[in-house]
Copies of this chain bind each other. A is one copy, B any other.
Amino acid sequence: MTLILKGNIISAEKYGELNIIENGYLIANDGIIEGMYQELPKQYENYDIIDYGDKLIMQSFSDMHLHAPQYPMLGMGMDLPLLDWLNTYTFPVEANFKNTDFARKVYKELAQKLIKNGTTRVAMFSSLHKDATLILMEELENAGVTGYVGKVNMDRNGGKDLEETTQESIDETIDWLKKANFKHIKPIITPRFTPSCTNELMETLGKIAKENNLPIQSHLSENTNEIKWVKQLHPDCPEYFDTYQKYGMWNNKTLMAHCVHSSKRELQSMKDNGVYVVHCASSNQNLMSGVAQVKKMVDNGLNVVIGSDIAGGDHMSMFDCVADTIRASKARNILDNWETGFLTVSQAFYLATSAANKFFDELPGFAKGNKLNCLVLDDSKLISATKLSIKERFERCIYNREDGAIVSVYSEGRKVY
């Protein structure tokens, strides 16, 4: 099956550098990118072409941290700091997902919304409920979303409605892994965060991850009170990350959300072990967690990707998350007395697309051999004073799009919108 898309092709080939092919061709065979061309190669002359005219064809997004069961509370409780917000809104809302009918309704809508917004890859937290987690995976699979979903583990500090026993948490995780057989959505081991998991549970989860060669996701150094709490719970660990590392959950398939207050040693360990920082700009601002040193982390060679962090973040669209990331980097620059710089549009777009490719064992941009994940954007309704370059149009669409600007989405070569 050969797919040939024609239009203005934009990809983040290197950090901060766009590859732009005006009126070019993007070709995939069986969902795998074959190449990008300014002129159609001769061997494809008799193939059908999907011609998007003057529209922009760009990489679709990877949302590397979001909480599916928090989707029904998007935009709520934003006047509260992290730990209060968790107890007042998040945990009670998540508890509702023991109801599978409710889960089905919410997750169907969430999955469709992700695709509609051009998010084709995710690393996502479910709740602790196994059945709802399987429903979530199924709905994402049906909608065309790819990536990872984790049944959340929490055997302490969740309150009466959102806590498992240690044994339940282990048994349910093992059973979930047996049942989680989907083509495009895979399981990821997901201890909520250190305060939610006993040592015994952490140890077992680390073993399960190792035995099954599974990736891991959790939270790290989001909030100063959270860090103090972890310190109380683990007087044996000098720093927060040690509580993951000691249980074997600290490698180049580990995603750690936030890292707002990570120490030099913590960041160095992330770099040394290839652990990913998932930067969540909107959530860090909303919950007043702080302003992460996103640019510095990238400059220092860490793996940095982006998450919407729904519902600490309030933007589902990764276009908005890219803009939030830029704004947060500017806030950081101001905090640093204008000395550390900020992320440009191209740099932040790279983090939301190509940087995550690495986690999925791919090269940046629309590289040959990558799966074809892209979106098609129509910006023709936006008024302009002069003829804009493709780069200007690209930059504008990060900040400014009409409703319905995304007209098509391809996920691993499948037209899903």
Contact = CB atoms under 8 A, between A and B. Distances in A.
A270 interface: no
A142 interface: no
Interface string A393-417: 0011111100110000000000000
A345 interface: yes
A146 to B, nearest CB: 23
Contact of A286 (B75, B330, B382): B330
Nearest to A260: B334
Contacts of A383: 71-72, 105-106, 109
B399 A314 contact: yes
Contacts of A290: 334
Interface in A304-324: 314, 323
A76 B395 contact: yes
B386 A93 contact: yes
Interface residues of A, number: 49
Interface residue SS majority, chain A: helix
A313 to B, nearest CB: 10
Count copies of this chain in the complex: 2
Contacts of A105: 383
B314 A400 contact: yes
Nearest to A316: B400
Contacts of A395: 75-79
A75 B397 CA distance: 7
Contacts of A331: 285, 291, 331, 334
B400 A74 contact: yes
A385 interface: yes
A334 B93 contact: no
Interface string A81-97: 00000000000110010
Contact of A400 (B75, B330, B338, B404): B75
Interface in A330-347: 330-331, 333-335, 338, 342, 344-345
A297 interface: no
Per CB-CB distance, the 4 closest pairs between chain A and chain B, nearest first, are: A75-B399, A75-B400, A314-B399, A403-B403
12 contacts: A73-B384, A76-B395, A78-B399, A92-B386, A93-B385, A106-B383, A285-B331, A288-B333, A288-B334, A331-B331, A331-B334, A334-B335
Given A75-B397, A77-B395, A285-B327, 6 more contacts: A76-B395, A78-B395, A93-B385, A109-B383, A286-B330, A288-B342
